[in-house]
Amino acid sequence: GIQVEQSPPDLILQEGANSTLRCNFSDSVNNLQWFHQNPWGQLINLFYIPSGTKQNGRLSATTVATERYSLLYISSSQTTDSGVYFCAANTGTASKLTFGTGTRLQVTL
Amino acid sequence: DGGITQSPKYLFRKEGQNVTLSCEQNLNHDAMYWYRQDPGQGLRLIYYSQIVNDFQKGDIAEGYSVSREKKESFPLTVTSAQKNPTAFYLCASSMRLNTEAFFGQGTRLTVV
């Protein structure tokens, strides 16, 4: 099945800084999603982005399907951005989303 | 409000007991999924259902069972055969298989 790798595994930022999280995947994807897992464990949908670029406020994402990677950009980070960011993908023939192991982000004052 | 509701939020079980986790959605989605998350890990698929009265095993189905008698509901039973059931369980749904998935708030199961 598809392999999904995320980097970096951990990231510490000062409030106001920008960051880029990366997701590499091993096969052509039908679906690629970015999630933020909050401290209570809930997965919040950030982007559904099998290809192209999307923006939502301070967050944006780009997926380059031909090169098999996706990037999540966080600008002007805030303490509420802290948590774990997951990338998940599946191929057209797969029945499930395969998750990466996540990037744990801590934003400090 | 539209969404996915999991209950209970926290569940304690004695070893040797079966326990059932509830998942209900009012999004009119055909596909539903159960994932398990262990501390510091990503999510792994337990079971999924493409349509009512149909379900398939995921990567870690041993020790679990499901049913899909109604479109809105996809309960997960953790049986006594599951060797290490303490984990965070997340239910998800999507319009069809392989479309954008949405998750419930999760149930944290602890075996005591």
**A53 pLDDT above the threshold of 90:** yes
Q: Which residue of B has its CA nearest to A87?
A: B42
Confidence of residue B2 (pLDDT cuts 50, 70, 90): low
Confidence of residue B7 (pLDDT cuts 50, 70, 90): very high
What percent of chain A lies above the pLDDT cut of 90?
83
Q: Taking residues A70-95, report their average pLDDT.
A: 91
Q: Taking residues A13-21, report their average pLDDT.
A: 97
Please report residues of B whose CB lies closer than 8 A to that of A95.
Answer: 48, 50, 56, 97-98
**B1 pLDDT above the threshold of 60:** no
Nearest to B33 among A31, A92, A96 (CB): A96
**Of A7, A1, A11, nearest to A107 (Cα)?**
A11
Backbone angles phi, psi at A89, to 5 degrees: -145, 155
Within B1-112, strands assigned E span: 4-7, 10-13, 19-25, 31-37, 43-51, 54-57, 64-66, 76-78, 87-94, 101-103, 107-111
Q: Taking residues B3-10, report their average pLDDT.
A: 95
Confirm or reject contact between A20 and chain B (CB < 8 A): no
